[in-house]
Amino acid sequence: MATSNAPISIGSVTLTNRNRNVIADFYQNIIGLDIVAEDNKTLSLGVDGQALLHLQENPAAKRRPTEAGLFHTAFLLPSRTDLGAWLMHAAKQGIKIDGAADHLVSEAIYLHDPEGNGIEIYADRDRSQWTIVDDSIKIDTLPLDLNELAANSNEQWQGAPSDSVIGHVHLQVGNVDQADEFYRDSIGFDQKARSSSMGFYGSGGYHHHIGANTWNSKNARQRSMDSTGLTRIDFLSDNAGLDGGQYVDPWGIEVSVSAS
């Protein structure tokens, strides 16, 4: 089952886009999501009737890749077999991938949508295979053998499987200290990894639900409101003290926390 079983997890994200139909077609045909709701303002896609991604159209929005905002949305599949099936599907569709990695805790493939929003498709290894060192989960970036991954999948891609979720969201931020203060201290995630340019935050022993880096966005301030990309993250929580909370992170991304 593709879930972190955590006290705080990710329910959905909202993206602003210039052409909603083009982006929706991509997430349907390539990522395998279904349309679950639509009105004049928002088109929602997800799995089994559960919305994971909300698209809001603004034809005048501009792409600003060095601003704070989205680094990638990470879709977590239930199994390695599913990841291999998706990889073969992407190859048949002629989708160019940006890279792939063995992170020890997971295996991941990276790409982007037609408006440049980063995407990760990944599958976790069983927690029994994770290595814990000094209360920290060991994570690395090693080569991933895509041929072996594809060869070990005997399933045909039929769209995103049941139990697929957004496993984590990786952000571009201006300052890691501020990310610590917001996502660790205010929202309540545990610090899972830390450097001068990167922070990982997770709940319930998960490797991370939020990543934050300054690799392209050091010292960035609040994102422009007329930009494409991430505008909102909706968290699910079993902490009654957080339920119903509405926040804005230091870079202008809306954050909500509701009961899981």
Q: What is the 3-state secondary structure (H, E, C) of 65-113?
A: CCCCEEEEEEEEECCHHHHHHHHHHHHHCCCCCCEEEECCCEEEEEEEC
| Domain at 8-259, CATH from 3.40.50.360, 3.10.180.10, 3.40.50.300, 3.60.15.10 | 3.10.180.10
pLDDT of residue 133: 84
CA distance 259 to 175: 29
Q: Model's pTM, two decimal places?
A: 0.96
Map tokens 């899972």 to a residue.
192
Task: Return the number of other C-beta atoms located less than 10 Å from residue 39's C-beta.
Answer: 7
Task: Give the C-alpha distances (Å, rounded to integers) separating 102 from 12, 55, 98.
Answer: 25, 30, 14
Work out the average pLDDT over 205-224.
Answer: 96
The per-residue pLDDT for range 201-211, each reduced to its tens digit, is 999 999 999 99
- Does residue 13 surpass a pLDDT of 90? yes
CA distance 93 to 101: 21
Task: Average the pLDDT over each of 14-23, 34-43, 129-138, 190-199 and give the range with the smallest value.
Answer: 129-138
Q: What is the DSSP string of 159-190?
A: SSPTT-EEEEEEEE-S-HHHHIIIIIIIS-PE
Q: Which residue has the higher pLDDT, 180 or 2?
A: 180
CB-CB contact of 237 with 257 (8 Å): yes
- Does residue 239 surpass a pLDDT of 80? no
Q: Six-digit token pair at 177?
A: 């200290």
The per-residue pLDDT for range 129-188, each reduced to its tens digit, is 999 888 789 999 999 999 999 998 988 999 999 999 999 999 999 999 999 999 999 999
The per-residue pLDDT for range 58-87, each reduced to its tens digit, is 999 999 999 999 999 999 999 999 999 999
Task: Give the C-alpha distances (Å, rounded to integers) separating 220 from 27, 158, 196, 251.
Answer: 29, 40, 15, 8
**Between the CA atoms of 140, 131, 1 and 211, what dihedral angle is there, to the nearest 10 degrees?**
-40
What is the percentage of the chain residues whose pLDDT exceeds 90? 88
Q: Where in the chain are the domains?
A: 8-259
Work out the average pLDDT over 187-192.
Answer: 93
Residue-averaged pLDDT of the chain: 94
- Rounded to 5 degrees, what are φ and ψ at 3? -150, 150
Which residues, 6 or more positions from 145, have their beta carbon under 8 angstroms from its beta carbon? none
Task: Return the number of other C-beta atoms located less than 10 Å from residue 143's C-beta.
Answer: 9
Task: Average the pLDDT over each of 22-36, 70-84, 131-145, 219-233 and give the range with the smallest value.
Answer: 131-145
